[in-house]
A and B are shown apart, each in its own frame.
Chain A
């Protein structure tokens, strides 16, 4: 299970890098905040609730959970917790989303989920577990669970210079692969979030290691085959 998450940019897009599950480097980028953070309820860090329910970080106000089930369980725990359980569905919507003209849309969405229920009269504690799941699903849909791209990133484990005289890093070996790939291929894969590296957009783009990562690509140069 992932134990840490950090904000990352892949080709200019916002992403979340998940680490701490062995050597895995898993990234989600693009898509909506809730999808990237495994946080279907868009839970924030209020009073440590999210952390107590498994959040591994807070990025731009919103909790990041290590997987979808833990994020889902946190949302369910919120619905049955003391802040909401005694509210009517009508009041719940206002407490959950705050005030504003959009409340009507949320109430419509909740009413559509429970067409037979009077939102003014039914309290959350009166809902069955199945109905609470439906309410959580409504929240997830309302927040906009929109997938982007997800990849396991590969680390660069060795590099080669262009030649003995030209120290440009021109070939890259990835963890778990036998041979070296060219700079062009490495740049393309890095832009797709498949390699744990940064593309430096210069007149001639090049690759460098992530700021803060242990390996500097210049330190893992191996000799070119003769």
Chain B
């Protein structure tokens, strides 16, 4: 019995991640008072363009099958490097050139909302990486009945998943949104049953 109690206590002490989300949202949300249940939810189209451009670069790193496509992700000198699983020399780098400018490979994105998304993402990724390596990044893009394009990029940190979800109908339709959130593995799109 005491072994069981110790095991539970160990889990509670060492794995706060399992139930951490309100705290994580409070800690990382760039505008906690905006009232969204995620770390970040916005709908500006420039950032959607960035997310879709990022997905396009990532999809060149990995075959779409078996689904979903996966790659390796790690921080390297302040940049988030995503590497092919099979060709270690092939990578996509994402970094902040300064507070207001994002560099995706060599392509600059100067929009402030994109900078907020990326700086928040890099901060959370860096913090998570201090305690656990990212196992993989999974990504997919498809249409739904309500959105022409849904783009998902998710970083697997074991019990927690750092997920970007972007839903869009193109530039002319403001029915769109993107989300950045740190969620329990069981709530994630790619690992819904905790697998």
Contact = CB atoms under 8 A, between A and B. Distances in A.
Contact of A14 (B35, B64, B140, B174): B174
B146 interface: yes
Contacts, number: 66
A142 B144 contact: yes
A98 to B, nearest CB: 8
Contacts of B64: 104
Interface stretch (B12-20, B36-44, B92-100, B120-128): B36-44
Interface in B15-53: 35-38, 41, 43
Interface residues of B, number: 25
Contacts of A175: none
Contacts of A42: 144-146
Contacts of B189: 141
A135 interface: no
Question: Which residue among A13, A32, A34, A100 has the maximum number of chain B CB atoms within 10 Å of its CB?
Answer: A32
Nearest to B173: A60
B185 interface: no
Given A30-B41, A106-B142, A108-B67, A144 B147 contact: yes
Chain A contact-residue range equals: 20 to 34
Contacts of A100: 143
Nearest 5 CB-CB pairs, A to B?
A: A102-B142, A105-B142, A42-B145, A102-B143, A33-B146
Interface of A: 13-14, 30-34, 42, 44, 60, 62, 96-97, 100-102, 104-106, 108, 141-144, 146-149, 192
Given A30-B177, A146-B41, A146-B179, 16 more contacts: A14-B174, A14-B175, A30-B41, A32-B146, A32-B167, A33-B146, A42-B145, A97-B143, A97-B145, A105-B140, A106-B142, A143-B144, A144-B147, A144-B150, A146-B165, A149-B36
